[in-house]
Structure formats: structure tokens, C-alpha cells
Amino acid sequence: MKRIISITAILIFTGFMSESFSQAVAVKLWPEGVPGSIENRLYKERNWTTPERNYYASVSDPEIHIFPAPKAVSSGAAVIICPGGGYTRMSWGNEGTSIAEWLNENGITAIILKYRLPSDSIMTDKSTGPLQDAQQAVRIVRRRAAEWGIDPDKIGIMGFSAGGHLASTLATHFNEKVYEPEDAVSARPDFAILIYPVITMTLPDTHKGSRVNLLGENPDTTQVIRFSNQYQVTKETPPAFIVHSTNDKTVPVINSIWFYQALIKNNIIAEMHIFQQGKHGYGLAKGGKTESQWPDLCISWLRNNGYILPL
């Protein structure tokens, strides 16, 4: 009897998940025109798939893709996901849709940010283009929270690798005026989830590809410090959950350590997990070693801090 009930529950929940993903909608960030944009008809959005991954690149008309949590299990929380890819592409499947499905399973509305990758071809200031999109995404979600069944005080930002740099930039630069907002709605995320994130732009510890793509080949010191987010943490920075691996040769683990230390120095709630294995780019780390524990640890952190419902 118990087995029949369990199977029935799984089938019902699977139905909820299918419904949630089938109801996903895309909302343009800038329907009236992208601020600071340069018209370039040769700049075309690209999407391609390899045997293991799905990618987007060359985005000029950014969007948020909303995957509502199933109503039966919704906590009211939402997480805006920034896929990684060195600021040259977005790992849409591994660090986007798979993450959205996992969040939905835990009663969290998932919102994937298809952001503009920094480019002099379409931006007057490529260093602020992704931040403009991240700020606007939070503002849109907060404005439309009631419509989408979201608690406006439980909107988080999440990022992987270079997407983690964007997420940590938003967490530390949410008040920076990089465009003219239409109202006073805050762009501050209520929490941040950073998975093997790029944090610093300083050599030799940055991810060099991300630095060049965002700031150029020879950025001045002011820009390097501005976007080295360990230096930008204040007492207004939101709480953060951080994951990294010691053997990450792509983004050195010191990136996360520095950010965590800055959070603690400013008395910000923070939790960090540094795993021995994993290297880089593992997404949910299914089938991994100890790093595969991070999704459950993250849900526990969200629950313990009141962002999602207790068990």
C-alpha cells in the first residue's frame, strides 16, 4: 500500500514539474530599447548543442525565462540564474535549465537570465552591459512578484563561474546607477548563491578570459578594482552561499575564499563549502564525489535562513 501511495505521489509531482516547464515564459528586459546599445545588424544570437551541453552566445535582446514553481509546493521564493561561460557564451543546459528544474523540485520559482555578453560591437560600455541586465531582471521580478506568485522579499541571484561574477557584481553593485530605472524598485537581491564563481579581476587569480571579455586586454586599475568584488562588499551586501573546489584550475578557489572573508568582515550571513574534488563547470555535480552534496547543502541553507519553507 505504501509503495502504491509513493508511486502515485511521484507521478503527481512529475505532472506538476511537466506543467511548470511547459508553462515557462520569456520576458524581454528592454522592450523599449536596450540602454547604451549600439545597433549592429551583423551581430546575431547563436544557440548550439554539443553531445553534453547547450549554449547561447551573441545575445543582443536579453530576456528572463521564468519557470514557475509548482503551486502545490511553492515556497514563494525565486532565484534568478546566471549561467557561466567566461563572458563569451552561456552554458544554458548545465547551468541553466537543469538548475531551474532542481529549484522547481524544491518549491522555488526559477528564472534564467539570458544576459548580454560584454561586447564593444553592441555596447557603448561593455563592462556594465551584463550588470544592467541583472539589475533590470531583479526589478522586473520584484515589480511582477504578485503576478508570478513570488514573495518580493525572497528573490535571490545565482551564478556559475563567470555567471558567478555577474551574480556577485549584482550583489555588490545593485545600487550603482548603470542605467536610468523607471521607478524606485530595488535591484538588491535578497540572497546570493555563487557556484565556483569568478570574483576577482586581479592577476594572477582571476579567470583571464572573463577579465579580457569584460574589461579588455589592458584595463586600468580603477576598473580592475571596481569589478574585483571582494573589494566591493559592504554591510548592505546580501547573505551568500558559496561553493568551490580545491582542484579548480579554471577559476582558482581563492576567488571564493576572498569573497567569503569580505562577507564575514562585514558581518554578512555566509556559508562556504570547499570540496576536494570537482574541478570546474560541474553544475549539479550528479555522479560526482563530495561536491555532489552541494545542492542539498544549498537547500538546507535556504531553509535555515527562512528563504524557503521548513520541512
Tens of pLDDT, residue by residue over 205-262, are 999 999 999 999 999 999 999 999 999 999 999 999 999 999 999 999 999 999 999 9
- pLDDT range class, residue 20, cuts 50, 70, 90: low
State the greatest distance between any 2 C-alpha atoms of the chain, in Å, as a whole number: 68
Position 311 in a domain: no
Indicate whether 13 pLDDT > 50. no
What pLDDT is attached to residue 311? 63
What pLDDT is attached to residue 17? 47
- pTM score of the predicted model: 0.92
Half-sphere exposure of 93 (CA within 13 A, CB side): 9
Helix (H) or strand (E) holding 111, with range, is strand 109-114
What pLDDT is attached to residue 11? 39
Residues 16 and 70: beta-carbon distance below 8 Å: yes
Position 38 in a domain: yes
Helix (H) or strand (E) holding 114, with range, is strand 109-114
Q: What is the percent of the chain with per-residue pLDDT over 90, rounded to a whole number?
A: 87
Q: What is the percent of the chain with per-residue pLDDT over 70, rounded to a whole number?
A: 93
Residues 175 and 238: beta-carbon distance below 8 Å: no
Sheet harboring 46-49: ordered strands across?
A: 46-49, 54-57, 90-91
11 grid coordinates: 507521478
Indicate whether 6 pLDDT > 50. no
Domain that holds residue 282: 2-304
- CATH value at residue 119: 3.40.50.1820
134 grid coordinates: 541583472
Indicate whether 12 pLDDT > 50. no
What pLDDT is attached to residue 22? 53
Position 310 in a domain: no
Question: What's 26's DSSP letter?
Answer: E
Position 62 in a domain: yes
Burial (CB count <10 Å: 0-12, 13-18, 19+), residue 49: exposed
Position 111 in a domain: yes
Cα gap 141→149, rounded to integer Å = 10
What pLDDT is attached to residue 44? 94
| Distance from the first to the final alpha carbon of the chain | 24
Cα gap 244→258, rounded to integer Å = 12
Domains identified in the chain, total number: 1
Average pLDDT, the chain: 93
Question: What's 165's DSSP letter?
Answer: H
Q: What share of the chain is helix, strand, coil (3-state, %, to 5)?
A: 35, 20, 50
Instruction: Kindly tell me the number of DSSP H helices and DSSP E strands found in the chain.
Output: 8, 11
Position 93 in a domain: yes
Backbone angles phi, psi at 98, to 5 degrees: -65, -35
Cα gap 229→105, rounded to integer Å = 31
- pLDDT range class, residue 84, cuts 50, 70, 90: very high
Among the ranges given (1-10, 16-25, 145-154), the one the predictor scored with the smallest mean pLDDT:
1-10
What pLDDT is attached to residue 283? 97
Position 85 in a domain: yes
Taking the alpha carbons of 252, 254, 257, 263 in that order, is the dihedral positive or negative? negative
Cα gap 210→165, rounded to integer Å = 9
* Count of residues in the chain: 311
- pLDDT range class, residue 3, cuts 50, 70, 90: very low
Tens of pLDDT, residue by residue over 90-136, are 999 999 999 999 999 999 999 999 999 999 999 999 999 999 999 99
Position 309 in a domain: no
